[in-house]
Every structure is written in structure tokens, then in C-alpha cells.
């Protein structure tokens, strides 16, 4: 299950307690809680738990990922007798490949080549976008809502009444007629070492972004790239 399903099924607010409660009351051998861009957590009857990371992909296609994870975990654990943490880790790798290719070809070499994401929930990202047109504002609000759902606090300077001071570790730019102040803030933050993610949905002339900028035409992919970059930056701060 995912986190919301686990908490809803038990009526509890603490994830660890909820998972162990399900094991006890449902006589389950293992409970796996999917955590989106932060991977998954595996609980067993001994009372222990193991975190499994998410794995990076060049794009994020979300439709069917829950089914793919569940099927892969069931195969590795129930069929191949792989211990639950390792089975969940392999399932997470399978999801990464599926998001990237939208196919079901999961050979061992491809699974082994997946790169883990060590992101922490609760990071903050700066969201830069134009707001003059309805479409611009709608995309901005959808991006802010999506980041919030992924556990990222999105600060939008062009719509905030009070903008927090301090540097920004990660910036998501919606490249659609950006105002000059957005360009200035983005350049300043990039110069300080901030990660830059650019959502560019249309093939029209626009700013030239620095080499190495993660650019995508897909909103979901942009949100996951931002959650990963911001979460990893926060992880580095807390080490």
C-alpha cells in the first residue's frame, strides 16, 4: 500500500505503528508501504523495518507503477523466495525501468544499473513561473499542489505576499514567458550552486539554460526531478 492507504486502513497517524498493527491484526508476514519519490518501507513480523530507496529514471510515467511494484515484489518474494527487503528493492528498480521505458523488459543488467535516490521529505523548492495568463497561473498552481503532495514545500516568489529570505537549493522553472525578475532570481540561485529543473512544454524560443540543466516537457517528470533534487540537497544538509 502507499502511505495514505496504510494510515486510512488503520485510522492511525503514525506510519510505523499502522504497519505493525496491520501485521498483527491481519496475520500478515510482511507489509510494504510505498513512499513515492522516497522509495518504500518494508515491515516484518519481527518488528523490524527496512527502507528501500527510489531509483532514478530519465522520465517518470506514473500510470501503472503501483501495479508494477506489487507484481514485481510478489514475483521476487513469493515465487523466487527473495527476502522481503531485497524483493522490495528489486521491485523499486523495476518501477524505475518501467517509468523510463513503459515496457516490461527487466533484465538483471538493467536492474543492476539503476541509481538510487537518497532524498529526504520536507525540502523546499523555489517555483518560478509567469502569472499573467490563466494557463500560466493554472500550471503554477498545479505544480505547487503536486510538489506538496510529494512532500516538498514550494515557494512561489511571483505570488507570495511575503517571500522567505535565504538561498534556494532547488529551482523549478516553468519556461513560458518568464518575467525578468524570475530570470534574475534563477540566475542568482544557480550561481550559488542551486539545482535547476526546467519544465518546457512547448518547442518555442526561450532562455538558454546552463549546461547540465534537467529539462523535460512532462509535468510529472519535472515534479519528481524537483522532489529528488530538493530532497537530496536537504539530506546533504542533515548529514
Residue 188 pLDDT greater than 70, yes or no:
yes
List pLDDT tens digits, range 3-20.
999 999 999 999 999 999
210-230: average pLDDT? 94
Rounded CA separation 149/90 (Å): 25
Confidence of residue 211 (pLDDT cuts 50, 70, 90): confident
Q: Which three cell numbers stand for residue 199?
A: 519544465
pLDDT at 239: 66
Residue 238 pLDDT greater than 90, yes or no:
no
> How large a percentage of the chain has pLDDT more than 70?
97
Confidence of residue 163 (pLDDT cuts 50, 70, 90): low
Residue 165 pLDDT greater than 70, yes or no:
no
List pLDDT tens digits, range 98-127.
999 999 888 899 999 999 999 999 999 999
Rounded CA separation 177/27 (Å): 56
For every residue of the chain, DSSP letters joined together read -BHHHHHHHHT-S-HHHHHHHHHHHHT-SEEEEE-GGG-EEEEETTS-EEEE-EE--SS---TTHHHHHHHHHHIIIIIT---HHHHHHHHHHHHHHHHHHSS----HHHHHT--EE---TT-EEEEE---SSHHHHHHHHHHHHHHHHTT-EEE-TTT-SSPPPS--SEEEEE-SS--HHHHHHHHHHHHTT-EEEEE--S------PPTT-EEES-HHHHHHHHHHHHHHHHHHHH-
Rounded CA separation 6/20 (Å): 10
Average predicted confidence (pLDDT) for the chain? 92
pLDDT at 66: 93
Residue 95 pLDDT greater than 90, yes or no:
yes
Residue 148 pLDDT greater than 80, yes or no:
yes
pLDDT at 120: 93
Residue 161 pLDDT greater than 80, yes or no:
no
Confidence of residue 34 (pLDDT cuts 50, 70, 90): very high
Confidence of residue 237 (pLDDT cuts 50, 70, 90): confident
pLDDT at 105: 84
Asked if residues 179 and 136 have their Cβ atoms less than 8 Å apart, the reply is: no
pLDDT at 220: 96
CA angle 212, 216, 220 (to 5 degrees): 130
Q: Which three cell numbers stand for residue 143?
A: 505544480
pLDDT at 210: 86
Could you tell me which residue, 202 or 135, shows the higher pLDDT? 135
Amino acid at each position: 500500500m502507499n502511505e495514505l492507504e496504510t494510515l486510512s486502513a488503520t485510522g492511525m497517524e503514525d506510519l510505523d505503528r499502522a504497519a505493525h498493527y496491520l501485521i498483527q491484526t491481519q496475520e500478515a508476514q510482511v507489509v510494504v508501504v510505498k513512499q513515492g519519490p522516497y522509495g518504500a518501507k518494508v515491515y516484518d513480523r519481527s518488528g523490524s523495518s527496512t527502507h528501500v530507496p527510489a531509483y532514478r529514471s530519465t522520465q517518470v510515467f506514473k500510470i501503472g507503477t503501483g501495479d508494477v511494484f506489487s507484481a514485481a515484489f510478489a514475483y521476487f518474494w513469493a515465487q523466487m523466495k527473495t527476502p522481503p527487503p531485497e524483493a522490495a528493492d528489486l521491485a523499486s528498480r523495476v518501477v524505475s525501468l518501467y517509468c523510463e521505458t513503459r515496457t516490461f523488459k527487466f533484465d538483471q543488467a538493467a536492474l543492476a544499473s539503476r541509481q538510487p535516490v537518497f532524498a529526504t521529505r520536507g525540502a523546499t523548492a523555489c517555483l518560478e513561473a509567469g502569472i499573467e495568463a490563466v494557463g500560466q497561473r493554472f500550471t503554477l498552481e498545479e505544480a505547487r499542489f503536486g510538489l506538496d503532495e510529494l512532500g516538498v514545500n514550494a515557494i512561489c516568489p511571483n505570488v507570495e505576499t511575503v517571500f522567505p529570505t535565504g538561498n534556494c537549493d532547488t529551482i523549478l522553472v516553468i519556461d513560458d514567458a518568464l518575467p525578468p525578475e524570475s530570470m534574475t532570481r534563477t540566475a542568482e540561485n544557480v550561481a550559488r550552486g542551486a539545482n535547476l529543473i526546467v519544465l518546457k512544454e512547448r518547442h518555442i524560443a526561450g532562455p538558454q539554460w546552463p549546461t547540465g540543466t534537467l529539462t523535460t516537457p512532462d509535468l510529472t517528470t519535472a515534479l519528481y526531478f524537483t522532489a529528488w533534487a530538493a530532497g537530496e540537497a536537504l539530506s546533504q544538509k542533515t548529514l
